[in-house]
Amino acid sequence: MGRRNRQRERASERLRAPESEYSDAAGNVLTLRGALSPPSRRAYADALAGSPLSQDDAWQRATELLFERLAARWTVAGVDYEHPKDLLSRYRMASQDERHAVRDALRAHCAEHFPELQAP
């Protein structure tokens, strides 16, 4: 057995964070991870604090960062997005209704799993 196969075995044995699914009215399903590392929490808090001159930009960036760190899968109109770059790209081109559904899911998820975080 080669080194690469041993690495794959170890990767498959690692613990995974629990996942929660959130559906919207259009039938899209967003799957969010139930764990957020301390550095990610600090990055989120820093992004949310942002600049007092551009609070809206800080809020948008913080929401995007939280989505980027928590989203495991997003099914939109029957198309699954699972790769982190695909998820972020799809979020950036999402409609207002889709973004609103994502924010609602993030708020509910944070309230349940991360009550100490200020939800977006």
**Considering its fold, how many domains does the chain have in total?**
1
Mean pLDDT for the chain? 88
Q: What 3 state SS string does the chain have?
A: CCHHHHHHHHHHHCCCCCEEEEECCCCCEEEEECCCCHHHHHHHHHHHHCCHHHHHHHHHHHHHHHHHHHEEEEEECCEEECCHHHHHHHHHCCCHHHHHHHHHHHHHHHHHHCCCCCCC
pLDDT of residue 48: 87
CATH number, domain containing residue 61 = 3.30.2220
Confidence (pLDDT) at 56? 81
Mean pLDDT (whole number) for 23-44:
93
Asked whether residue 9 is domain-assigned, the answer is no
- pLDDT, residue 9, reads 66
* Domain contains 3: no
Does 104 map to a domain? yes
Q: Which domain holds residue 107?
A: 17-113
